[in-house]
A and B are shown apart, each in its own frame.
Chain A
Amino acid sequence: MSTAESASSPVPVKLDAVRAESKVVTPSGRIVRRFRRHRGAMVGLILLVLVAVYIIGGSIVFSEADANYNNTGIRLNPPSAEHPFGTDRVGRNILARTIYGGQISLLIGLLAVTVSVTLGTTIGALSGYYGGVIDSVLMRFTEAMLSIPSLLLLLVMAKFFGGRVSDVQFLGRTLSGSVVVIILIIGLTSWMALARIVRSTVLSLKEEEYITAARALGAPNYHIILRHILPNATASIIVAATLGIAGAILAEAYISFLGLGVQAPTASWGNMLTEAQEFQIIANAPWYWFFPGLLILLTVLSINFVGDGLRDALDPRSDKKV
């Protein structure tokens, strides 16, 4: 707009000056600014970067072999200069284990969300776009999945897939097959809310005139869904995905805590706590559960903060804050 005005004005105006005056705000620029003004989101982001530095930088200092090395001569030692977070029941270095466990927990969070977002978006889009029988079948299935408590469903699925997947190589680490199982089952049990959101977005848009226009021009259905409809749901998908990572990390922690998750010797923040649940350890070796627990808390908290900030930043109605 401003360029057109400056071109038509009789006095030549420097473009930069016009921009500076009218403060051209692109939509993405506005989102970034809203996000940066969200105090919680910034705190969350900083925390998250710190956690990332901890689990990635830490792996330069300690090798995975260090994390799995056990020495029963130093069982349950309290934090010291050599083992800042103490040692566990078989004398492993808890600091090193939280680093490698953190990689697993975050990896599970990210990949599980990838699975659930893909599933949720696909099911929601198909259901909303095609309607009719497809819609009824998919939505009844979604409701059925929603009415089974997710923790119990996760446990049943963990039992179902347990031991069926062999170890895999990923980013230079050998991961126990249980990691893949956890990623799958968390993904398979957490797509329902997003499917509903995407479905309602699709429903509200598919009768719009620009969709009819696209169809009249001969655009195939997949093109209409992918290029014309789904981009409108990006905001909801991003927010759901971000909060989903926090949920997935917690879910991993719960299943591993109950002994059906990631299997030793691969560490995860959740299975480090399984070993700590005897009363003697809770009472006499608080460092055993405190550090993995604290890291779960910090990570989940920061992701929730970021998700909250994203929700406010991406919602055009929250403009009053700017």
Chain B
Amino acid sequence: MTKYIIRRLLQAIPLLLITSAVIFVLLQSAGDPLATLGGRVPPRPEDRERLRRVMGLDQPIPVQYLYWLIGNDWVLIDRDGDGEPETPGTRKGVLRGDFGISSVTRQPAMQIVIDRLPNTLLLMVTAEFVIITSALFIGIYSAVRQYSLLDNVLTSLSFIMFSMPIFLVAFGLMYLFAVKTREWGLLYFPTAGMFDPRVGPTLGQLAWHLVLPVTAVSVVSIAAYSRYVRSNMLEVINSDYIRTAKAKGLNERRILFRHALKNACLPLVTLVGLDLPFFLAGAVVTEKIFAWPGMGRLFIDHLARLDYSVLMAILLLITAAVVVFQLLTDLVYTWLDPRIRYN
């Protein structure tokens, strides 16, 4: 087992290298980071040239990638532009934990990302919890009462929801539960930010501000997941060992929850494990609409200014999460289902 884990982790290395190289080249060729430097006063041409040399932008892209990866403290860089390198570089490179400095805020890139990460996690973990519980509930009900009126309604609804763009759901929710309900004097929810600045980030405030964004993120996924649970559940319910359990005279509820649910849930573990890291990225639209200060919005804001240190940090973090979650999913799967072995 340890061997398997080590092999998988080793396989991840070339994957991360390819991914980072592809994105690095795309980002570096996308435009001039100096052109949008923090929106400050445009530097004089000679300052611009000097900055370009200091930031290493005068180097060819493969060299820049190398510096980004392993740092440039082992070479001399030519700061004054006389053609003779004299100053030792200061960057340590990603492999030694240095993701570079944000060209917008001058803070370490990883620090900026880590500051935003909990906000995204809060949104996404809550959403994932809502998604899984509702999908299980709906999926099981639909499977047990197959072709009943409610099952048909839920099936049609899930088809519609599955095709919904998130922003349409979000706009609709805002319009109904923040605008209309307010007009009607009913309960209404906040549509921007994480908490009321007058109250501060208390648990109640956070929960209150989470309602609409979490609903918006969840609706689409609940539709997909509940279909999945339903079809798995149907397959299990019609299998031999469930019939045996019924023949033994076990009570229905016990069969459903002790025997059927366990096996029907297995594939869901894979789905959740593989989807979870992509959720971090999927927050982009929701975070933008609901002004949620998370990683997705950070990405959009810094993409506009081509702050490649921060962008690379975000992308690498998510890609690494994808790799780790794929491995974890496989491991959890063997633990849940002893029939599966990896060698």
Identify the A interface with B (CB < 8 A).
Answer: 40, 140-141, 143-145, 147-149, 151-153, 155-157, 159-160, 162, 246, 250, 253-254, 257-258, 260, 273, 276-277, 279, 282-283, 286, 289-290, 293-294, 296-297, 300-301, 304-305
Contact = CB atoms under 8 A, between A and B. Distances in A.
- Looking at chain B's contact residues, is the secondary structure mostly helix, strand, loop, or mixed? helix
Interface of B: 14-15, 18-19, 22-23, 26-27, 29-31, 159-160, 162-168, 171-172, 174-175, 178-179, 191-192, 277-278, 280-282, 284-285, 288-289, 299-300, 303, 306, 311, 314-315, 318-319, 322-323
Given A246-B163, A258-B300, 11 more contacts: A147-B323, A149-B281, A159-B27, A159-B30, A162-B30, A279-B191, A282-B179, A293-B165, A293-B171, A300-B165, A304-B162
A146 to B, nearest CB: 8
A313 B195 CA distance: 51
Contacts, number: 126
A141 B22 CA distance: 10
Contacts of B167: 253-254, 257, 273, 277, 289, 293
A144 B24 CA distance: 14
A151 B159 contact: no
- Looking at chain A's contact residues, is the secondary structure mostly helix, strand, loop, or mixed? helix
A296 B168 contact: yes
A276 B175 CA distance: 12
A313 B43 CA distance: 64
Contact of A152 (B162, B281, B288): B281
B35 to A, nearest CB: 12
A143 to B, nearest CB: 6
A254 B15 contact: no
Most B Cβ at <10 Å: residue of A141, A162, A250, A286:
A286
B174 A297 contact: no
A156 B30 contact: yes
B303 A297 contact: no
A144 B18 contact: yes
Contacts of A148: 19, 22-23, 315, 318-319
A278 B180 CA distance: 16
Contacts of B162: 304
A163 to B, nearest CB: 9
B180 to A, nearest CB: 9
A289 B300 contact: no
Contact of B165 (A140, A260, A296): A296
B151 to A, nearest CB: 15
A276 B167 CA distance: 10
A159 B299 CA distance: 12
A279 B174 CA distance: 9
Contacts of A297: 160, 163-165, 168
Contacts of B160: 297, 301
Contacts of B289: 277
Contacts of B26: 156-157, 159-160
Nearest to A299: B163
Contact of B315 (A141, A152, A260, A301): A152
A157 B27 CA distance: 8
Contacts of A290: 171
A260 B300 CA distance: 10
B88 to A, nearest CB: 32
24 contacts: A140-B18, A141-B18, A144-B19, A147-B19, A148-B23, A148-B315, A149-B280, A152-B314, A156-B30, A162-B30, A250-B165, A257-B285, A258-B300, A260-B303, A273-B167, A273-B171, A279-B191, A282-B179, A286-B175, A289-B167, A293-B168, A293-B171, A300-B165, A301-B163
B193 to A, nearest CB: 12
A107 B307 CA distance: 33
Nearest to A44: B159
A149 B278 contact: yes
B20 to A, nearest CB: 9
A277 B290 CA distance: 10
B171 A276 contact: yes
A141 B278 CA distance: 18
Contacts of A250: 165
Contact of A151 (B22, B178, B284, B311): B284
A283 B178 CA distance: 8
B15 A147 contact: yes
Nearest to B174: A282
A148 B23 CA distance: 9
A156 B19 contact: no
A159 B19 CA distance: 17
Most B Cβ at <10 Å: residue of A149, A155, A157, A290:
A149
Contacts of B278: 149
A282 B289 CA distance: 11
B14 A140 contact: yes
Contact of A159 (B18, B163, B303): B303
A304 B288 CA distance: 27
Given A147-B15, A147-B19, A304 B163 contact: yes
A197 to B, nearest CB: 17
A282 B14 CA distance: 46
Contacts of B172: 293
B311 A156 contact: yes
Closest 8 CB pairs of A and B: A149-B281, A293-B168, A301-B163, A300-B163, A144-B18, A147-B322, A283-B179, A160-B30
A305 B282 contact: no
